[in-house]
Amino acid sequence: MAQNADSVLTFCRSYAFTFLLLCYLLYMIIGAVIFMVLEQPEQNSLVAEVHELRVRFLENNQCVKESSLDRLLKKVLFAGKRGVTLKADSDEYNFDFTSSLFFVITFLTTTGYGTTVPLSDEGRVFCMLYCVFGIPLTFLLLSCITHALVPRLSHAPIRHLQIYWGLSRNKAALIYCGILAASTATLFFLLPAVSLCLLEKDWSFLESFYFCFISLSTIGLGDYLPGQTHSWAARQALEFATSCYLVLGLVVLLVVMESFWKLQQVQALVRLFVGSTAASLKEDDLDEQALSEWPDSHDIPTADVQFKPPISIISHRISDLPPTPSVEDACTPFTPQVASYKKTVRPPHQPDTDPDPADQNN
C-alpha cells in the first residue's frame, strides 16, 4: 500500500507542470464561456436599442439619407474611440501637456486605457520607438525601487515580529503578508474607489472599484476614465492624480508580490510544479559549469608525479633517516616529523662520512 502511494505521489510530481498547463487552458476556456453567456444578452439588447433609435431618427427626419447617416455614425464612433470630443466649441484637448503626460505614463506602465492614441503616422512611429526604450527603463526603475524598499518594508517588520513577538520566521512572514495585503487593499483600492464614487456622480462604488482594479493590474480597458464629464481644469487635475496613483500603486503592488513570493508556502508550491524540471536544468548547468572549468590536459596533475629529493639526501645511510612511526603514533601530526627529518639531513656540500668521535669530544 505504501509503495502504491509513493508511486502515485511520484507520478503526480513528475507531471505536475503538465497538469498546471492543462488547468490554465481549461481556466481560459471556462472564462471565455462565462463571458459569452453573461455579455451576449447585453450586447444584443444594446444593438437592438441602437437599431431602433436609428430607425426612429430616419422616420422623423426623412430628408436625411440612410447612407449619409451611416457614414456620420461611423466617423463619430471612430473619433470617439480616439478620444476626440464631439463638441465643436470645446476647448478641451487630448494632447496638451497634462494630457500628454498622462498618455505617456499610461503606456510606459503598460496600462494603456486606449482613450487617447496617436493620430498621425509620425506620432505612431515615435510612440513605438519611445516604448522600445521607455518600457524596459520603466521596469528597471520599478525593479530598483522595489529592491530598495523590500528590506525596509518587508524584511525589517518580519524581523521585528520574530524578535519582539517570539514567532518563527514563517509565521511572522505570514502575519506580515496578511497585514500588508489588507493595508494595500484598503489604501489603494477601497479608499480610491470611495473617492471616485464621490467625485464621479455617475459612477457606482462597483464601477469605481472596477476602475482601480483594472488600472493597477495594468489591464487598462479604458471603458471608465475619471474627469470626462468635468471641466477642463478638473479633468487635468484628475489625470495628474491618476498618473501619480498608477506609479505609486505599481510600486506598492510589486513590494507586496515580492513579499508573498518569499513565503515558504509559495516556494513549496512552485517547487511542486517545476521541481523535476528545475532539478534537471540545475544538473545540466552544473555539468556545463564543470566541463567549462575542467583544466586542460597539460595542466592535469598525474599520480606518477612525486617529489624527488636531491641525490645527496638519498645517499645518506638509513640510520640517519627518522624512524618509521608506529601504529600508536599514526595519529600524530606529520609536520613535526618533517621538521626533525630536515634537521638530520646534511647540506649537499658536506662529505657523506660520519663525524670523528675525537672531533666531537673536542
Burial class, 339, CB count within 10 angstroms (exposed 0-12 / middle 13-18 / buried 19+) = exposed
Q: What's 217's domain CATH number? A: 1.10.287.70
Residue 354 lies in a domain: no
Summarised one tens digit per residue, pLDDT across range 96-149 is 888 888 889 998 999 988 878 888 899 999 999 999 999 999 999 999 999 999
Percentage with pLDDT > 90 across the chain = 31
Residue 32 in any domain: the answer is: no
User: How confident is the model over 258-265, as a mean pLDDT?
Assistant: 89
Under the banding of pLDDT at 50, 70 and 90, the label for residue 338 is very low
The verdict on residue 159 lying in a domain is: yes
Count of helices and strands (H, E) across the chain: 14, 0
Higher per-residue confidence, 278 vs 84: 84
Between 279 and 204, name the one with better pLDDT: 204
User: Does the pLDDT at position 309 exceed 60?
Assistant: no
State the residue range of the domain holding 170: 89-281
Query: What is the predicted pLDDT for the residue at 83?
Result: 66
Cα(11)–Cα(265) distance, integer angstroms = 21
Rounded CA gap, 57 and 72, in Å?
13
Separation between Cα atoms, residue 262 and residue 170, nearest integer Å: 10
Top pLDDT among 34 and 278 is at 34
Give the C-alpha separation, 249 to 214, whole Å.
12
- Report the predicted TM-score, pTM, of the whole model to 2 decimal places: 0.68
Asked if 93 contacts 99 with a C-beta cutoff of 8 angstroms, the reply is yes
CA separation for the pair 160, 169 (Å, rounded) = 10
Rounded mean pLDDT of 86-103? Answer: 71
The Cα angle at residue 132 between residues 129 and 135, in degrees rounded to 5: 125
Q: Average pLDDT for residues 46-66, to the nearest whole number? A: 88
Q: How many domains does the chain have?
A: 1
Triad 77, 97, 94: Cα angle to 5°: 5
- Do the domain assignments include residue 150? yes
Query: Is residue 238 a part of any domain in this protein?
Result: yes
Residue in 17, 293, 258 with CA at minimum distance from that of residue 149: 258
Span 142-163, average pLDDT:
90
CA distance 272 to 306: 51
Give residue 196's pLDDT band: very low, low, confident or very high (50, 70, 90): very high
Q: What confidence tens digit (pLDDT) does each residue in 220-258 have?
A: 888 888 887 788 888 888 989 999 999 999 999 999 999
**Could you tell me if residue 81 is inside a domain?**
no
Give the N- to C-terminal CA distance of the chain in Å, as an integer. 91
Of the given ranges (153-162, 183-192, 334-343), which has the lowest mean pLDDT? 334-343
